[in-house]
Each structure stands twice: as structure tokens, then as C-alpha cells.
Structure 1
Amino acid sequence: MTLPTQRSQPSSLSRLWADSLTVFWGDWLDLRVRLVQVAASGLISPLIYILAFGLGLGSTLDSVAKPTAGENYLEFILPGMVALSSMVISFGGTTFSICGDRLFTKTFEEMLLMPVHPLALHLGKMLAGIVRGMLTAGSVILVAVLVTGKIWSFLNPLFLLVLILNCAVFAGLGVLVGLNVKSLESVGIYNNFLIVPMSFLGGTFFDVATLPVALKLIVSLLPLTYTSLGLRAAAYLPIAQFPWFVIPVLLVMAIAVSAVGAYQFSHLQD
């Protein structure tokens, strides 16, 4: 007598991952036709900062002091520009994508009807935000490589790991904002009070170690601070001097916003 073949059931994690990719695929179908546009969308501001601060102000600063990482001030701010561009596009692109589905095309409700876990909905949208951020960051990395000639500094695994975690954090925040805003005008408020201050206070243009203690405590609450610190160390400093606490901090932040996002999606489904 032949026993029936037992088919192994997929584990919860593999099913969650498959559902996340399904949600991501819906965004990818729209994103893939705009790859060049997405890659270039966050390039203008970093280029302006590189020209104004790196080449303009940088020449003056280089005559006064040597930066803590990199050979000159221009090299010092380049990892910060990569962090800045990935933050802006990961957050903004994800927020506007969800707002468009909720407020204009009215396709968001259809996605909520999908028989997938709420966490998969969040992760799928977050993955799309990560891709957006990495595309734009890739453009800035290309500029950095052309300016410095240091390919491995900006393409080593540690640099890319910190960059992906940064995109995950801000794409996750973008999901939360996209789920809660009532209009596109409200997105501008979050951008003005969250993203713009973080752009200048997150260690992109200066070494946070030089700040007063009170301000240093405030800056230490910003995800971009850890990203700038990690990218700069991964690009220019020996591996022994890399601040390894950056990775678990960003990972915990990404997990935290994912948990909140899963709760939000679960609440919307009720």
C-alpha cells in the first residue's frame, strides 16, 4: 500500500515574505516604468549642497581644520548627501504613493481586501520605498565616485547595509504618514517639521561629536544621525573604528515602525 505523499506546508515566515513580495510587486509594476525619473528625483538637492557647501564653503573650512573623516570637507559631506537623498525619497515617495491610492485612485481599499497578514502589507509598501531610496542614493553614489574616485568606499557591503537600513526606517515612516494624513497638504506639514529639520541636524554637514551636550542628546534621537555616522565611517575609516551600534539602532527603529505599521493596517481592515 502506497502512503500518500505529504506536502510540506510553507512556514509562517516564508508565507509572510511571499505576501510582502506580492504587495511590493503591485508597486513595482508602476515603479519600473519610471526608474530614471525616480533615480533623478532626489538628485538636485544633494548636487546643490555639494556645490554650495562642498566646493564653496568647503575650501574655506579646509584651510582652517581637517575633517574627522575624509581628506577634505567635500568628501566629508558626500556620505551625508547619500543619506539625505535616500531619506527624502524613501519617505516622500512612499507617502505620496499611499496617499495617491487612498485619496485619488481609490485603489487602497482593494489592497486591504487581499488575504495577507497586515505586516505583509506594511513590508510590501516598505520594500517599494527601499527600492525608491536606493535608486536615488545610487545616483548620488555615482556622483560621489566620480568626484572622489573612491569606488570601494561607497560600494562596500557595510556602506550598503547601513544605507538599506536607513531606507527601511524612512520608508516605514512614510507608510505611517501615508496611512494617517487626510490630504496632500498634510504631507507638507510632516515634511516641514520632520524631514527638513532632520536634513540639517542629522549629521550630514557636521560632526555631531562637536555639538553641545544638550543638542547632542536631541540629535541622537534622529535616525539620520546614525545613518550619516555609519556611512561616513564605512566610507573612510578602518573597520576597527566603525561604530557598530549604528546597525542595531537602525534595525530596531525599522522593526518598531513595522510593528506600528502592521497595527495600523490591521486597524484599517477592521
Structure 2
Amino acid sequence: MAEISNMGTRRFGRVNWLGLYTLAVREMQRFMAVWTQTLLAPLVTAGLFMVIFSIAIGPRRGDVMGVDFTTFIAPGILMMTVIQNAFANTSSSIVISKVQGNIVDTLMPPLSAGELVLGYMAGGVGRGVLVALAIALGQFAVLGLVPAHPIWMMVFVVLGAAFLSGLGMVAGIFANKFDQMAAITNFVVTPLAFLSGTFYSVQALPPVLNEITHFNPIFYMIDGVRYGMIGVSDSSPWLGLGVGIGATLAISIAALWMFARGYRLKA
């Protein structure tokens, strides 16, 4: 009886550091085991985006906000790739476990809902940061692009990866099949990423679309990374920081509630 009581205290009271560490390491080992797919492939995709847009649009586009078009889109492509990979890491981990029927192996150990959220998020943020570093090194080698405000850049990279990791958890818990997950990715995540000032300044949008874009938290993530890398932005980085923290907390609370209630996780 005492052992059961101690387990309950360990799970719902004090933090289960060993369990949290184990889950975080497992999530990181998942993507490191297939690094050519999870780290190398995003680097190649980002490079292709840079080449295609630079050749097709760059010569005619001219400067954007005082910098050449290729330099302007570099931070947007970096951040777009980061958020896509952070989302994919947590969502795929949960969906695969649910489809294979082994999600119980994650739910049964003495881990609280908060520890589950942090463990999964650690994997998503880890993958996002590694992707960001790889792309940033590539952009430095090709474009000679050195971050103007490196601390701001890393803050928004981590914040964006955390937000999309939380969104990936919510989507992964909600989806019971791969086609449902694909629908969320194609109709929610991808439009939010592409329509967030990745390839353009929102100042060029009509007033109505400009206002709508400012309700998209991903816009502030991309804009913040752009400020950190090239020193220009459409909005204040402090405003972006506030929106990013608020959005990340909100989506984390939603994931916490889902794990605590066992929403669409219990058979």
C-alpha cells in the first residue's frame, strides 16, 4: 500500500525527472535514428525553395524592406521548415503509437500529463533547433548571412518549435488515422506557414489581409526570426515575443487537458 501511495505522489506531486528524461530522450532518438529524413531532407528542401524563388522571382522583385529578395526570404524559409518539422515530430509520434496500439506504453508509466507534454515537446523543439542550425549554417555558407541579433533569432526558433510541438500534440491526439493527420497538416499547418509572410512582407498585402495575418501567431514567429537574422521586421519583436509565449501556453494547456482526460487516447 505504501508503494502505491509513493507512486501516486511521484506521479502527481513531485516531478518524475527520470521518466521525463527518458521520454524526452526517446523522442529525440526517434528522429536521430532517421536523420537523413528528419534533418538532411529539410535542409535540401529549404535549399530548393531558396534556389527556385531566387531564380523565378528574385531578379524582378528587387529589394524588400531595404534588403534583396533572397536575403529577405531566407529567415522565412528557415522558420517555415522549423515549424513544419517540430509539428511533424510530435504529431507523428502520437499518431503512430495510436495506430500501432502501443500508446499505452507511454500512458502507463508514472508520468503526469504535464510531464508527457514536456517530454514530447522536448523532442519537437530539439528537432526544430537542429534543423534551424543546419539551415542557418547553409545560408551562411551560400549567402554569407550572419544573424544580426542571434539571441532574438534563437528565442523565436525555440518558441516557434515549442508552439508547433504543442499543436502537433493536439493534432496527434485528435487524429485517429493517418489520413486525418494528413488533412490537418495540409489544410491547417501548411496554409498557416505559407501565409505568414514567409515569402513577402505583409505591408504589401491589402489592408484586410494585413489585419487577418496579424491574428496568425506563426506570422510573429517568422517575423521575429527575420528580425533576428537580418534586422528588419513587420512588427515589434517584443509584441511577437508576447504573442508567441501566449500562444505556446494556450496550446500547451490544451494538450495538457487532453492528456489528463485521456481524450481520444483511451480505448
Contact 1:165–1:250 (CA<8 Å) still a contact in 2?
yes
RMSD over aligned Cα, in angstroms?
2.5
Q: Verify the 8 A CA contact 2:147 2:228 in the aligned structure 1.
A: no
Against the structure 1 CA distance between its residues 14 and 127, is the aligned structure 2 distance closer, same or farther, given a 3 Å change threshold? farther
Which amino acid in the other structure matches residue 164 of structure 2? F
Deviations 1:136-178 (A, max 9, x none): 2222212211122133448x11101111100000011001111
- What is the rounded CA distance, in whole Å, between the counterparts of 2:190 and 2:232 in structure 1? 31
| Residue 101 (str. 1) matches residue 97 (str. 2) | yes
Residues 201, 179 of structure 1: alpha-carbon distance in 2 compared, 3 angstrom cutoff:
same
Q: Runs of 4 or more off by more than 6 Å in structure 1?
A: none
Give 2:107's aligned residue. Answer: 112
1:236 to 230, 239, 244: 230
Q: In the alignment, is the contact (CA less than 8 A) between 2:79 and 2:222 conserved in 1?
A: yes
| Aligned residue-pair number | 254
Tell me, yes or no, if the aligned pair for 1:230 and 1:243 is still in contact at 8 Å.
Answer: yes
CA offsets, 1:75-115, max 9 Å, x none? 000000011100111112221111111112x2211211121
The equivalent position to 2:84 in structure 1, one of 88, 110, 115, is 88
* CA spacing shift, 1:96–1:148, aligned 2, 3 Å: same
CA 1:54–1:265: 2 relative to 1, 3 Å: same
What is the distance in 2 between the residues matched to 1:13 and 1:75?
49
Counterpart Cα distance in 1 of 2:129 and 2:240: 19
Distance in 1 (CA, whole Å) between partners of 2:21 and 2:242 is 24
Following superposition, the deviation at residue 196 of structure 1 comes to: 2.0
Q: Match for 2:167 among 156, 168, 173?
A: 173
Bigger Cα displacement from structure 2, 198-207 vs 209-218: 209-218
Q: 1:184 aligns with which of 178, 185, 189?
A: 178
Does residue 149 of structure 1 match 2:172? no
- Give how far 1:26 is off: 2.3
TM-score, scaled relative to structure 1? 0.85
Q: Distance in 2 between matches of 1:238 and 1:45?
A: 24
Q: Alignment partner of 2:237: what SS?
A: coil
Which residue does the alignment assign to 1:25?
A: 25
CA–CA separation in structure 2 for the residues paired with 1:95 and 1:84 = 17
Unpaired segments ≥5 residues, structure 2: 1-8
Quick one: structure 1 residues 224 and 238, their matched pair in 2 at CA, closer, same or farther if it must change by over 3 Å? closer
Q: CA deviation at 1:60?
A: 0.9
Tell me which residue corresponds to 2:6: none
Amino acid at match of 2:118: L
Letter in 1 for 2:175: V
Q: Give the corresponding residue for 1:159.
A: 153
Residue 52 of structure 1: aligned partner: 52
